[in-house]
Structure 1
């Protein structure tokens, strides 16, 4: 069986370029005992993948030059030498940007194809949905009547954060780029208000949308959004820090005065809780509850989702650049092959 792979050819400097990747077709080995041959249906595009394209210290090991670009995938089992999996099973894996892969069956997880589209295993019912659920409820702890602000609110994490916050009785305010995304936040996802961070009146608009201040800020972005939001935090506000996508392609430090002392002063004087997290920290404590709650909310329409699907593995690099630039609406996916379900 041949597989077509997109591999890392060079560590990107700034925005990833086409020359930072190479497409290779190679022959896979026959599956050994305990292994399965997978055909990729959907490949996930996620901001954290940019960090693995760098040797800078991070929470995940960097890719080596020549490695397949890794990420979550939904795949079909086309050959099995394991009692754990049968031909035709649809599974969650971590095989990345390639059309086929041979892996240990224990590295796969069955996807329930009866309750929701298979793609949701990479989105609202998968890692992004769990990131929103666990980060908000464990660190943000929204109370009824409080105001929750989330950046990158039209993405898969942000949109889930706002909807879960409202289910918990809080007021949800989303920050997104552009009028169309802001419209979707209110009309599609049920946010109480949405603010366009690209607007010249962003700071004033944020103040108008949060007249009682901000009790929880779910951080996905960094940059000027964080600068504006942190000035409106209430005493004892909680800040789950999930991502800082505004800086992922940065090649130098920001210009201007050092704003860290002012931020640390607010942390002290307002008794703020600021905690970074990686979603798998909470798998043991929140995994079962997430599967139960989010599955039910998606099934009854309490939580809605959108997907931004790009067809063809050959378009993965451009779609990834679009994700880093905020061009996606909803969960970014690449449809690599047909979905048997």
Structure 2
């Protein structure tokens, strides 16, 4: 039987993950049973939320099990099918393993490569795009003329949030970690202003200068000191969409920060955490609107693509060093 490589969780990280937490193995590709589909991996997504799944403990999804293959978003192509819904050559999206080939019982979404490049279905037309769409529009409820601040603004979610906010007539301030990223946000994506959190002498002061009317909506991807600074600028009845806390994912002890509840109380502000899967019944509507904006040139995106199955762990680790602009992907193979 044919062989393939797969990647397992070898150990649970303490703080920042390392290559030692991953185990490569070569195994046989199993024979298909009734209703199953064999999928060749083309693009594998690496995402910050996966860091949380490497820890033990209760969360919105079960943790990865030690010694088991890590799973995430994968775009692939059907190589063999014993399922009437899929034919050889179909392009599909699914929650699959970090493997060169995956056997699925058909819990896959067919993709139309004429709508967008295949990689986009893991980014602007995938989980990040949907996360931006629902977090901003449902929780943020943007109104024309309001000020929106986005942390992690050059990431896969943040850059879409900012563009949708601009489509809704808002002033948008992005926070990212390099001058190159911030230049892209302003010159290519239409952000009104940006802050480089790595070089800013005072994020709080810069925010006050760039948001003279205060902050109406904060889309939080990072947490930590950045979020502490934004909270001080919140307006009355501000809305905060709590999407991610990447600044805290690798901390080994609970940090003591400002007490935010008095700010929320005095400002009568809304803070709501969300997971994109909460909105699954509305995915099709969101996909149609995102696709319409994309085809009209009103929505742009960038990807950081690393090539080679063996480079998946390194691409994942790069997320926490801020190396990616837009969606971080690993290209594993070309279509046949």
Q: TM-score, normalised by structure 2?
A: 0.97
**What is the match of residue 73 of structure 1?**
74
Q: Distance in 2 between matches of 1:135 and 1:14?
A: 28
2: CA distance, partners of 1:242 / 1:326: 17
Q: How far apart in 1 are the matches of 2:131 and 2:275?
A: 8
Deviation at 1:150, TM superposition (A): 0.7
Q: SS of the counterpart of 1:4?
A: strand
Instruction: Report the 3-state secondary structure (helix = DSSP H, G, I; strand = E; otherwise coil) of the residue aligned with 1:238.
Output: strand
The C-alpha deviation readout for 1:197-235, integer Å capped at 9, x for no partner, is 112233222222111100000010001110110000000
Q: Which residue of 1 aligns with 2:277?
A: 280
Match of 1:249 in 2: 250
Corresponding position of 2:294? 298
Partner-residue secondary structure (3-state), 2:97: coil
Select 1:335's aligned residue among 327, 331, 334.
Answer: 331
> Which residue, out of 252, 265, 270, partners 1:268?
265
**Quick one: distance in 2 between partners of 1:2 and 1:43?**
19
Indicate conservation of the 8 Å contact 1:3/1:101, yes or no.
no
Question: Any runs of at least 4 consecutive aligned residues in structure 1 with deviations exceeding 3 A, and if so which?
Answer: none
> In structure 2, what is the Cα distance between the partners aligned to 1:148 and 1:292?
24
Equivalent residue of 1:115, what SS? coil
Q: Report 1:1-40 matches (<5 A).
A: 1-40=2-41
CA separation in 2, counterparts of 1:135 and 1:269? 23
What corresponds to 1:89 in structure 2?
Answer: 90
Across the aligned residues of Structure 1 and Structure 2, the Cα RMSD in angstroms comes to 1.1
- Tell whether the 8 Å contact from 1:128 to 1:157 is kept in structure 2 after alignment: yes
**TM superposition score normalised by structure 1:** 0.96
What's the CA shift for 1:292?
A: 1.4
Give aligned pairs, total. Answer: 334
* Cross-structure match for 1:49: 50
8 Å CA contact 1:52–1:61 kept in 2: the answer is: yes
> How much has 1:325 moved relative to structure 2?
2.1
How far did 1:330 drift?
Answer: 0.7
Give the whole-Å Cα distance in 2 for the aligned partners of 1:81 and 1:228: 55
Instruction: Show the 5 A alignment for 1:1-341.
Output: 1-105=2-106, 107-198=107-198, 199-254=200-255, 258-260=257-259, 263-284=260-281, 286-340=282-336
CA contact (8 A) 1:140 1:238 kept: yes
Q: CA–CA distance in 2 between the matches of 1:66 and 1:28?
A: 18
Instruction: For structure 1, list consecutive stretches of 5 or more residues without a partner in the other structure.
Output: none
1:289, 1:230 → 2: CA distance? 32
Q: What per-residue deviation string (whole Å, max 9, x for no partner) do you get for residues 160-218 of structure 1?
A: 00000111111111110111111011012111111111122332222221111000000
The alignment partner of 2:86 has SS state of coil
